[in-house]
């Protein structure tokens, strides 16, 4: 499977990268992340050019990483800054580096050989909004990132997979609006006239009132999804609206594994620790306990075509299908324009 290389991926939440060594395998490359003494984050190849010892088994010495095996040191530019076996540093020992950029408390990493374009970083500014409260986490998954994108572009699955906390009596085969805007895909499900889902009910003026609920996902290349779940009370504007904006950013690790970074930023009960716990419970049960096991189970489904049923499509697939088609096209276009060196690096 080819990946889109000239794209920003989430390497970590900001708070995960500090004065220690964090290793993540991203697009099949072992990457080492650390924070310099000036606060800047650096990302370099995690393999020591001497014996390929993983550098995350070493330690930070000032702004250099000291290999835990024989003590060579490398700084954030990939340069060898110290070789204990000779006085001069070894000019040939140069590690690959990656462009990183911290924005909205996300550490973005650019994995391609092309020039990193900051304008292409997906917007997740709800994460740093003072009018929202964010609960977040991450998890490594044994499944292709493409399966998880599919899951997140069709939020109607919440009615069944997350029924205890997220089902609504307004679900009746919802109309799904899908549109492409530039390189992004929007997918919206709307459920008018039903009881609000469990997470929001007790925060409404009348928990038993009929409300309209809207579930929207926005995909940005290569694998970032912003979503918004809104509950509208009233027939005419101005509505009372409560809900969450979510970040669901999937970073391919290998062809069959990925990192899932998830966050929910609510616009109500900002100082209520009990509501924080509700969201942690939701993330533990719905994301860790339902989405991830379901998608990993699909990954493990037999690949023997002789035993597979004929595949069918439903209308709720539209957002995921368009996303998949656009991503395929982008990958193909990149493959055609890559020079042979880059093609080799991507296989």
Binding site for ligand FES (CB under 6 A): 48, 50-51, 53, 67, 69-72
Looking at beta carbons only, is 220 or 291 nearer to Fe ion? 291
Looking at beta carbons only, is 45 or 295 nearer to ligand FES? 45
Looking at beta carbons only, is 291 or 317 nearer to Fe ion? 291
Cα–Cα dist 55/68, whole Å:
7
Q: Does 278 bind Fe ion (CB under 5 A)?
A: no
Looking at beta carbons only, is 5 or 245 nearer to Fe ion? 245
Report, in Å, the least distance between residue 26 CB and ligand FES: 21
Query: Distance between alpha carbon 125 and the CA centroid of its chain, in Å?
Result: 14
Give the closest residue to 16 by CA, choosing from 261, 251, 287, 225: 261
Neighbouring C-beta atoms of residue 54, cutoff 10 Å: 16
**Gap between the terminal Cα atoms of the chain:** 8
Looking at beta carbons only, is 53 or 269 nearer to ligand FES? 53
Looking at beta carbons only, is 80 or 199 nearer to ligand FES? 80
Spell out the residues 6+ positions from residue 140 whose beta carbon is closer than 8 angstroms to its own: 253, 257, 258, 259, 260
Residue 289 binds: one of ligand FES, Fe ion, none (C-beta under 5 to 8 A by kind): none
The DSSP call for residue 344 is H
Residue 152 binds: one of ligand FES, Fe ion, none (C-beta under 5 to 8 A by kind): none
Sign of torsion over alpha carbons 88, 94, 98, 99: positive
Please give the sequence-ordered ranges of beta strands (E in DSSP) within the chain, or none if there are none.
8-13, 22-26, 29-35, 41-45, 59-61, 64-66, 73-75, 80-82, 97-103, 106-110, 133-141, 175-181, 184-195, 210-220, 224-233, 240-254, 257-266
Residue 50 binds: one of Fe ion, ligand FES, none (C-beta under 5 to 8 A by kind): ligand FES
The strand pair at 97-103 and 106-110 is best described as: antiparallel
Cα–Cα dist 22/31, whole Å:
8
Report residue 142 as tokens. 């044994």
Looking at beta carbons only, is 71 or 289 nearer to ligand FES? 71
Report, in Å, the least distance between residue 34 CB and ligand FES: 16
Looking at beta carbons only, is 50 or 157 nearer to Fe ion? 157
Cα–Cα dist 226/264, whole Å:
10
Sign of torsion over alpha carbons 18, 19, 25, 31: positive
Looking at beta carbons only, is 69 or 268 nearer to ligand FES? 69
Q: Is 106 helix (H, G, I), strand (E, B) or coil?
A: strand
Size of the site for Fe ion (CB under 5 A): 1
Report, in Å, the least distance between residue 67 CB and ligand FES: 3
Residue 150 binds: one of ligand FES, Fe ion, none (C-beta under 5 to 8 A by kind): none
Report, in Å, the least distance between residue 196 CB and Fe ion: 18
- Using CB under 5 A as the binding rule, the residues of this chain from 282 to 311 that contact Fe ion are 291
Cα–Cα dist 219/187, whole Å:
9
Which element (helix H / strand E) includes 230?
Answer: strand 224-233
Angle subtended at Cα 245 by Cα 242 and Cα 250, rounded to the nearest 5 degrees: 155
Report, in Å, the least distance between residue 80 CB and ligand FES: 10
Report, in Å, the least distance between residue 282 CB and Fe ion: 10
Residue 190 binds: one of ligand FES, Fe ion, none (C-beta under 5 to 8 A by kind): none
The DSSP call for residue 162 is T
Residue 137 binds: one of ligand FES, Fe ion, none (C-beta under 5 to 8 A by kind): none
Report, in Å, the least distance between residue 163 CB and Fe ion: 11
Residue 325 binds: one of ligand FES, Fe ion, none (C-beta under 5 to 8 A by kind): none
Report, in Å, the least distance between residue 88 CB and ligand FES: 16
Report, in Å, the least distance between residue 216 CB and ligand FES: 48
Residue 291 binds: one of Fe ion, ligand FES, none (C-beta under 5 to 8 A by kind): Fe ion
Residues that bind Fe ion (CB under 5 A): 291
């Amino acid at each position: 499977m080819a990946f889109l290389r000239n794209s920003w991926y989430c390497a970590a939440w900001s708070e995960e990268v500090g004065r220690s060594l964090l290793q993540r395998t991203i697009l099949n490359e072992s990457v080492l992340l650390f924070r310099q003494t000036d606060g800047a984050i650096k990302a370099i190849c995690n393999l020591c050019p001497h014996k390929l010892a993983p550098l995350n088994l070493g330690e930070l010495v000032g702004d250099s990483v000291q290999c835990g095996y024989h003590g060579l040191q490398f700084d954030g530019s990939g340069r060898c800054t110290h070789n204990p076996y000779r006085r001069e540093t070894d000019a040939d020992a140069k590690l690959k580096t990656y462009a990183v950029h911290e924005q909205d408390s996300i550490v973005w990493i650019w994995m391609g050989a092309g020039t990193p374009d900051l304008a292409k970083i997906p917007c997740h500014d709800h994460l740093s909004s003072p009018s929202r409260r964010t609960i977040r986490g991450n998890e490594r998954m044994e499944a292709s990132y493409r399966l998880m994108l599919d899951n997140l572009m069709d939020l109607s699955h919440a009615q069944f997979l997350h029924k205890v906390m997220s089902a609504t009596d307004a679900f009746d085969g919802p109309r799904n609006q899908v549109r492409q805007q530039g390189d992004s895909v929007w997918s919206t499900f709307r459920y008018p006239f039903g009881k609000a889902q469990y997470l929001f009910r007790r925060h409404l003026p009348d928990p038993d009132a009929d409300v309209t609920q809207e579930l929207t996902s926005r995909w940005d290349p290569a694998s970032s999804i912003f979503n918004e779940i809104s509950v509208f009370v009233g027939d005419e504007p101005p509505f009372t609206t409560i809900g969450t904006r979510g970040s669901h950013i999937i970073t391919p690790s290998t062809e069959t594994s990925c990192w899932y970074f998830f966050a929910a930023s609510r616009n109500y009960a900002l100082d209520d620790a009990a509501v924080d716990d509700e969201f942690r419970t939701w993330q533990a049960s719905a994301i860790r306990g339902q989405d991830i096991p379901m998608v990993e189970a699909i990954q493990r489904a037999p690949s023997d075509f002789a035993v597979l049923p004929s595949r069918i499509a439903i209308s709720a697939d539209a957002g995921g299908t368009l996303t998949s088609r656009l991503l395929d096209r982008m990958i193909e276009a990149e493959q055609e324009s890559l020079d042979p060196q880059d093609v080799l690096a991507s296989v």
